[in-house]
């Protein structure tokens, strides 16, 4: 069975502006771990989108598995950010754009 895609929107918390270099290094290490594990499809930051730090698109077996991945993100785990998680269904030629 193919894994599903999930979008994790990382929202800035009240203490986001107090991020330290060490926290950012843990965040980047987590990104590398997810990428090495072939869980991470893509990630990035939003420019000029107040309140939102960025997003991950991840592959997981279930919503619950995706949520466990989100909870382990250092920005979330350490209280600098929160997240919203949504399942993402790709529309493309292979599935006739979901018709």
- For range 70-84, the mean pLDDT: 98
pTM of this structure = 0.91
In this model, does residue 3 exceed pLDDT 90?
no
CA nearest neighbour of 56 among 36, 78, 74, 34: 34
The predicted-structure confidence for 8-35, as pLDDT tens digits, reads as follows: 999 999 999 999 999 999 999 999 999 9
What is the spatial distance between Cα 34 and Cα 37, in angstroms, rounded to a whole number?
A: 5
Residue 5 has pLDDT above 80, yes or no: yes
Query: Can you give the pLDDT at residue 1?
Result: 52
Q: Domains along the chain? A: 4-98 (3.30.70.1060)
């Amino acid at each position: 069975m193919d894994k599903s895609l999930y979008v994790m929107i990382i929202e800035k918390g009240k203490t986001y502006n107090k991020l330290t270099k060490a926290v950012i290094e843990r965040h980047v290490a987590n990104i590398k771990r997810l990428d090495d594990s072939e869980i991470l499809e893509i990630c990035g930051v939003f420019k000029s989108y107040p309140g939102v730090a960025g997003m991950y698109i991840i592959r997981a077996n279930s919503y619950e598995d995706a949520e466990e991945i989100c909870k382990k993100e250092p920005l979330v785990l350490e209280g600098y950010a929160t997240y919203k998680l949504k399942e993402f269904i790709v529309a493309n030629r292979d599935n006739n754009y979901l018709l």
